[in-house]
Structure 1
Amino acid sequence: MSDRPFWAQEDFTGGPPRRVEGGIRIHAAAGAVARTWWSARFLAVLEQLGVGGRLSRGRSYARSGQIVSLDVDAGAVVALVQGTRPQPYRVRIGLRVWDKTQWRRVEQALAADAWYTAALLSGTVPPEIEELLDGLELSLFPAAGADLSQDCSCPDHTVPCKHLAAVFYVLAERCDTDPFTLLTLRGRDRDALLERLRAERDSGDDPSAPAGPAPLADLLDRFWDGAAGSAPPRPPDTEPGAVLDQVPEPSLRAGGGRLTDALRPVYRALAHPDA
């Protein structure tokens, strides 16, 4: 046994990574990982920043469930990824957090049109949010290399290494199913953001309006009306089988493969019966 710490010892080579029981994996067994425009945009931005060309190194890790744990918080994604060594590697991906002044501008802009909140709650990120943030000189996605930091405890000097790349894939798929993921990284989780939007709308009430709630009988004719100038929320731009990504993988198998993969064509056929 060497007296040197594990990270200073020679790397384990010549074999597959150690299997992880119940590890976090992406659901896409083949083909593109991103299923929504915003996760595809996230991966495209990484490509522009010189990261995307090396992401394929971690695809097999992401598909085989080598990620032991993954936590998303303001400014950072922290994960443990199991490689060939006994000790999992610690991975950290950092994204610059918006400051209080910047978030104040974002909250005012989102609260001015309740359609954005409705869209987020329905599970989608409207493309118009990019234009809105551009007007505030902000970007939901990493805007430059300095906006994104990457670190892994493995001995590989290449950035991203396969452990970082695997976490990027899992993060992109998490963005598919939870549109608040990128907003959390920028500094506001789902509950905090919705609470601030409610407070912002309440503070913007017309002071000349009559005090107290209006009688229900006076509201029935316009009960279903949205805010002036707002558009109705559109359904999430996701594949028909996206719900399969949000349920635990059943223990049942289908022809030797995963049951959820076998069910995806069925969901597509039900969504497009005339296709």
Structure 2
Amino acid sequence: MQTNPIYFTRTRIAPTPSGYLHLGNALSFALTAALARKSGAKILLRIDDLDQQRVNLNYLQDIFDTLRFLNIPWDEGPRDLNDYNAGWSQLHRMELYKEALEQLADQREIFACQCSRAQLQDGIYPGSCRNRSIPLDTPDIAWRLYTDEKELVIKALNKGIIKARLADNLKDFVVKKKDDFPSYQLASLIDDLHFGVDLVVRGKDLYPSTIAQHYLAEVLQQDSFKDITFHHHPLLMAGGDKKLSKSAGATSIKYLRDEGKSAGDVYGEIGRMLGIEGLQNFEHFVNLV
């Protein structure tokens, strides 16, 4: 992928510590860092750890080990577990998320929902609680955002301005979960604004989330979110049309490292899956973008 000489201030690598990182994560991180190198952007390491039930110290350590093993640099964010715990966990930014949620409540943009995932219809929320006027302080409820068919404007790398609407499975999407933690959509949006990110690189599977976050930014009157440029890259597939997952151990970087594979072997496997010959290290990756 050859990009025009565009300059950015800051991008981010944002893994979740819910499993060992795999080849698809490595592709996304390497592409992010390569685009940062070409555009002059600083790289922030932001660990998305609000799903506290799935956070694991081994998975956290794997983030640092994988980035260093693959020689993927970062300029800002935690350098190790102690640094992460001291000031970089998302738990340290709970007040920011709370302020955004309170703004949504004050604006009456949300409603309380008692539905379980089992009550969704093929992953689509049927609107069961939309008009029930359940008090927002009811125990064991989620907060959902009232949504409509409005058209959103997104800045896409090498594509300019594109227009999109929410996917069906993100209509009336959750902004606060039943465990009282903010949803991924809200926390990711607030973090990108807080850190001044102006380039987001993520897989194509997260394109619907990009649209949802633009929708939420508009409701919160955060117009600067429209200035962020997004790039959604192809996914590495584990045969057929099945994307890689953190449960697929054989594609995890840790597994490959434990099997004696080098960083060059890992980059070579990524290249093979992408149909690119001669990919051996991060510097080769930089030359591709």
Same fold (TM over 0.5): no
TM-score by length of 2: 0.27
TM-score by length of 1: 0.28
